[in-house]
A and B are shown apart, each in its own frame.
Chain A
Amino acid sequence: MAKKTHVTTTLNGQPTEFLCEARQSLLEVLRDTLHLTGAKEGCNNGNCGACTVLLDGTPVVSCLVLGVEVEGKSVTTVEGLADASELHPLQQCFLEDAALQCGICTPGFLVAAKALLDENPCPTEAEIRFALAGNICRCTGYDKIIRAVQHAAERLTLRDGILLAKQK
């Protein structure tokens, strides 16, 4: 049996350890070892974006990251977006705006869109389309996804504004 490496990482905010072979992708580790099946295997060669996760806060395709590479790093998957009681505004807006049909691409879009809104809370439509160009959807034609991200951006800035006002 192939040698396994012990890897320590922060996964969705929790300290996490796992064993993996050098040849295993982060996507394989997430799905098969850690049983987080949110990230999807679409193309398995970096083209489709369905396996997008955040690595130290930046979106990457987990099929092109080795499990052993995340030693000491932080990983966020779609499972880390919602809190215990409610969906992330992006998830809520995807539902309300019918921004998904078959759903395979959705976790990747949600994670990439979260990274975008973390970095740029009020993106233009062109900025949203540019940021999500690495995610492929074969059902929606993208317009509903773009609209859902726009709505989520509005909701998040409103929420953050209210929070800020309360703090004052």
Chain B
Amino acid sequence: MTEFEYAAPTSVAEAARLLSQAKGRAKILAGGTDLLVQLREGLRHADLVVDVKRIPSMTEIRQESSGSWRIGAATPCQQIENHPGIRSSYPALADAVRIIGGWQIKNRATLGGNLCTSSPAGDSLPALIASHAEGIIAGEDGSTRRVPMESFCTGPGKNVLQDGELLEAFVLPAPPAGSSGAYLRFIPRHEMDIAVVGCGAMLAVTNGKITAARIGLGAVAPTPLFAEQASQGLLGQVPSRDIFAQAGEQSRAIARPISDMRSPADYRTHLVGVLVKRSLEIAFRRIQGESIDPLHHSWTAESSSL
């Protein structure tokens, strides 16, 4: 790696000051699982590396008085996966961070890093969209602004962050009553691969009818997508396989995938329909108290309440 200076500030204000002084020549180090590889391979350059893991507000998970949860942007995926409050309130996010990488990677790689890398295939992003999360962005003048997850990425590797800004935390609103969720990823093996398609879903059911639904899609467009129409189409409906399949069909309509070494485009579009349907079904069955591990769930031998 080429030479750089290292700083480990203990407050967001100090980090923002360092970033603004460096005038675009600084990079933020959270888990380092992308940044250090890119610096080593010469894909990115930095005069200054700002390690944000010593900033308390960026590394903690806490529930706010409103019932929403705040997750520091530099919180490692493994901590999120292990957190009982996150697992029960945001199962889609817990599913996603569980399969984002191997154990060693999950102990370092952070939720904020996954978002700021802004890969169309980032596993946590569809789950964050489904969880209605917002990012809190801190500016150099001490100001903050909030950006919904579906508006954060602007293209592959690109996002709304300006020079001197940093992503401080995520806020996830309290989940609606009677809700659950799921994240499903298609890869051509059991584990440890980049998503061909990813789908996060959140569903709430009250008195037998769907009262809230959000579907997030990954790896089918230059940025992760919120399938808004498909989500809204579920409201007021009685949960059934047919209704979930319909949401899958509607979600297919917004997919704009590319063909690459992982998959031809039309297969990705097909997968959107399948994963939307299945993730909604898992969410619904979880609402009913079933314990489902998406990694080991068999879709061939079905016995379900649906």
Contact = CB atoms under 8 A, between A and B. Distances in A.
A56 to B, nearest CB: 9
Nearest to B32: A64
Interface of A is mostly: mixed
A3 B5 CA distance: 8
B6 A22 contact: yes
A46 interface: yes
B157 to A, nearest CB: 18
Q: Chain A CB within 10 Å — which of B3, B31, B33, B105 has the most? A: B105
Contacts of B105: 46, 61, 134
- Chain B interface bracket (under 10, 10 to 19, 20 to 34, 35 or more): 20 to 34
Given A64-B33, A64-B37, A52 B104 contact: yes
Given A2-B3, A23-B2, A58-B107, A65 B32 contact: yes
A45 interface: yes
Interface in A4-26: 5, 21-23, 25
Interface string A95-120: 00000000000000000100100000
Interface in B23-41: 29, 31-33, 36-37, 39-41
Given A58-B78, A64-B37, A134 B3 contact: no
Nearest to A21: B3
Given A21-B3, A22-B6, A44-B40, A69 B104 contact: no
A148 B41 CA distance: 36
B267 interface: no
B301 interface: no
A36 interface: no
A74 B2 CA distance: 27
B101 A134 contact: yes
Interface string A40-74: 00001110010010010011110111101101000
